[in-house]
């Protein structure tokens, strides 16, 4: 899956940082690639690996996942959307959730906009999926804040954005293929299946910090 995900995004960016969790070594095709900075962390960072690298404040940063394929114009459209808004105050994503309660008892108390579905108008949400979003480097949460959020980085990042007065928006799009899953044979393990479905109370408590805020469209 990783090779397909990288292939879809690499030609669209200046530099791709790869946190190679659980790999014994960096694959040979990435070791000397001029636009790939790949490393094997000393310990498995899981989804926190997206926050290990510290960007410059003015960088335009994309957070990506290894099981998603990004359309050929993904970066161009996301950058344009970010530029059409106050980039200091917003983060733009493709997958988001709005909670129906300020103190949800489970993660199913939310309305989700999935990355693969069309969306007529931009929509503000409580929480973005960190596998497909764009933000200025200054609006990427620091690793020290994120490091204890393995398996629930979407929640921790949403909390950081809320605490820093930064809005989360889902981009409008007409097509289904803007972002899509890497096709696989059979089932593969995901954090949603192994963790999110039965979210611990401590994580629900973090969700309560930012859940059920104002929802408007543009």
pLDDT at 165: 96
Q: How many helices (H) and strands (E) does the chain have?
A: 7, 12
Identify whether the C-beta of residue 127 lies closer than 8 Å to the C-beta of residue 96. yes
Closest CA to 116 of 92, 93, 95, 91: 95
Give yes or no for residue 16 having a pLDDT over 90: yes
The three-state secondary structure class of 125 is strand
Q: pTM of this prediction? A: 0.92
Please give the residue that has the higher pLDDT: either 91 or 217: 91
* pLDDT for residue 1: 87
pLDDT digits (tens, 9 = 90+) for 145-193: 999 999 999 999 999 999 999 999 999 998 778 999 998 766 655 555 5
pLDDT digits (tens, 9 = 90+) for 76-89: 999 999 999 999 99
């Amino acid at each position: 899956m990783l090779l397909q995900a990288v292939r879809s995004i690499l030609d669209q960016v200046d530099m791709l940082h790869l946190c190679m969790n659980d790999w014994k070594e960096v694959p040979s095709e990435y070791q000397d690639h001029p636009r790939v900075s790949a490393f094997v962390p000393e310990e498995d960072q899981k989804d926190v690996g997206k926050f290990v690298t510290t960007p410059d404040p003015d960088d335009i940063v994309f957070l990506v996942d290894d099981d998603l394929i990004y359309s050929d114009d993904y970066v161009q459209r996301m950058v344009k959307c970010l530029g059409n808004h106050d980039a200091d105050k917003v983060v733009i994503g493709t997958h988001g959730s709005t909670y129906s309660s300020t103190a949800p008892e489970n993660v199913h108390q939310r309305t989700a906009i999935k990355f693969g579905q069309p969306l007529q108008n931009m929509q503000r949400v409580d929480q973005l999926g960190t596998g497909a979003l764009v933000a200025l480097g200054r609006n990427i949460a620091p690793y020290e804040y994120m490091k204890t959020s393995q398996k629930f980085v979407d929640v921790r990042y949403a909390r950081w954005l809320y605490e820093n007065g930064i809005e989360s928006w889902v981009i409008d799009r007409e097509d289904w293929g803007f972002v899509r899953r890497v096709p696989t044979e059979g089932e593969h393990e995901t954090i949603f299946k192994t963790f999110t479905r039965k979210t611990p109370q401590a994580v629900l408590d973090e969700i309560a910090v930012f859940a059920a805020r104002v929802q408007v469209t543009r």
